[in-house]
């Protein structure tokens, strides 16, 4: 009878341990209190915003003489806001290098959104730079007209074959003779004075721009904002556990065992399996936490948890992204700290190893240290 009673109690204990071990998240803090006569257990979690708070609710469980039932969950969001200055270059093509034509192609502002930061960028007029995008050859002619007067006859010898204009030699292309005076010969008037209107021309070619390319910069401050983490406070209310009537349960188990020996064997095997799983999960629980300073004073943010054995007192945090924090805090849970009193604990990080001696007895061990700037940046 006494063995059956112990069997039942051990089975209940194993099931209780397994229920706790399979909880989805590990609370950052756990407080048990009696407030105005009401027994309460308060579990606090600091989690990413994408975690479903419904997963934090646990079914009713027993602890230290009370049966706790979920009462309510509160939620507090921890927002973040970050800004930075962004410069973006824009290129436009135009057929003219006139500033008014170029500005007509450029918007005064530009929307910016890279998926993390968003904002409005303004055109910086001082950054405009215009260059020729290409050239083509064009052809034409240069002409010059000269009037040669006071000639006594229309003789081509009076008209030069070439002339010079702007350093270019032009050839005679046409001559028009005009009578500017007459004389009476007998009873008839005949031309006595002439002038020549000579036209000179030459072919020419030159390089002309086919278009222009203008680069301009837009500058502005962009913002990244959202929810960094959410603090959930899950409250359970407790009621005293009602005493189990041992005789009735013992008689039931005794009857089951006496009626079927296979029941006793199966129950024992199930108990051994449950106890083994509970012990394994209990031994593998994480007992070292790593924190970095938060936004507010004396506020710390949990960034990692580790399982450490007393035979090998060390952790490796080199895979953590700690580039923005120079201070690291290591918390060793009391169960492990008691075994490491007087021993050296090592924290390996990218670029070095920090060691210190465990001196805390009876409480969690808390130790803070700072990375050196050159070590944190990965430089020699």
Range 98-103, long-range pairs (CB < 8 A, 24+ positions):
99/128, 102/128, 102/130, 102/212, 102/214
Helix (DSSP H) and strand (DSSP E) numbers for the chain: 6, 16
- Helical pair 2-21 and 246-259, crossing angle rounded to 10 deg: 100
Structure confidence at residue 282 (pLDDT): 54
For 241, phi then psi, to 5°, come to: -70, 130
For 181, the token pair is: 């005076």
Q: Give this prediction's pTM.
A: 0.41
Residues 76, 302, 296, 223, CA torsion sign: negative
- Which string of DSSP letters, residue by residue, matches 295-333? SSTT-EEEEEEE---TTS-EEE-TTS--TT-SEEEEEE-
Q: Is 342 within 8 Å of 357 (Cβ atoms)?
A: yes
Strand 327-332 vs strand 288-293: parallel, antiparallel, or unpaired? Answer: antiparallel
The pLDDT score that the predictor gives to residue 335 is 85
The pLDDT of residue 206: 87
Block means of pLDDT (10 residues each) for the chain, 380 residues, are 48 47 72 91 93 91 92 94 94 91 92 93 94 91 93 92 92 94 87 94 90 95 92 94 62 52 63 65 75 73 88 90 73 87 89 85 78 47
pLDDT (0 to 100) of residue 97: 87
Predicted local distance difference test score (pLDDT) of residue 374: 41
pLDDT confidence of residue 218: 96
Strand order across the beta sheet in which 288-293 lies: 300-306, 288-293, 327-332, 365-370
What does the pLDDT read at residue 64?
A: 87
CA-to-CA distance for 30 and 69, rounded, in angstroms? 15
Q: Alpha-carbon distance 293 to 325, whole Å?
A: 8
pLDDT confidence of residue 337: 86
């Amino acid at each position: 009878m006494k063995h059956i009673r112990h069997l039942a109690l051990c089975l209940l204990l194993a099931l209780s341990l397994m229920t706790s071990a399979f909880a989805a998240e590990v609370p950052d803090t756990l407080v048990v209190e009696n407030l105005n006569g009401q027994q309460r257990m308060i579990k606090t979690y600091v989690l990413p915003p994408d975690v479903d708070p419904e997963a934090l609710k646990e079914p009713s469980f027993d602890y230290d003489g009370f049966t706790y039932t979920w009462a309510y969950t509160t939620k507090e969001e921890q927002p973040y806001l970050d800004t930075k200055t962004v410069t973006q270059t824009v290129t436009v093509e135009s057929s003219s290098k006139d500033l008014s034509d170029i500005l007509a192609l450029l918007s005064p502002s530009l929307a910016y959104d890279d998926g993390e930061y968003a904002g409005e960028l303004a055109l910086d007029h001082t950054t405009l730079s215009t260059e020729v995008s290409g050239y083509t050859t064009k052809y034409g002619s240069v002409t010059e007209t000269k009037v040669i007067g006071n000639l006594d006859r229309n003789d081509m010898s009076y008209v030069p074959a070439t002339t010079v204009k702007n350093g270019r030699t032009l050839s005679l292309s046409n001559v028009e003779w005009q009578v500017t005076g007459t004389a009476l010969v007998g009873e008839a008037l005949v031309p006595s004075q002439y002038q020549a209107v000579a036209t000179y021309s030459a072919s020419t070619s030159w390089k002309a721009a086919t278009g222009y390319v203008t680069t301009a910069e837009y500058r502005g401050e962009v913002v990244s904002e959202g929810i960094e983490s959410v603090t959930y406070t899950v409250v359970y209310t407790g009621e005293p556990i009602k005493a189990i009537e041992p005789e009735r349960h013992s008689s039931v188990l005794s009857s089951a065992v006496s009626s079927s020996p296979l029941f006793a064997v199966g129950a024992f095997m199930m108990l051994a399996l449950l106890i083994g799983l509970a012990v394994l999960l209990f031994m593998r629980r994480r007992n070292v936490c790593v924190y970095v300073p938060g936004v507010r004073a004396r506020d710390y943010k949990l960034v990692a948890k580790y399982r450490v054995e007393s035979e090998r007192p060390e952790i490796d945090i080199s895979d953590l992204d700690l580039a923005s924090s120079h201070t690291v805090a290591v918390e060793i849970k009391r169960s492990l700290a008691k075994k490491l009193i007087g021993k050296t604990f090592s924290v390996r990080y990218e670029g070095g190893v920090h060691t210190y001696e465990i001196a805390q007895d009876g409480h969690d061990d808390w130790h803070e240290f700072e990375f050196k700037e050159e070590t944190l940046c990965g430089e020699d």
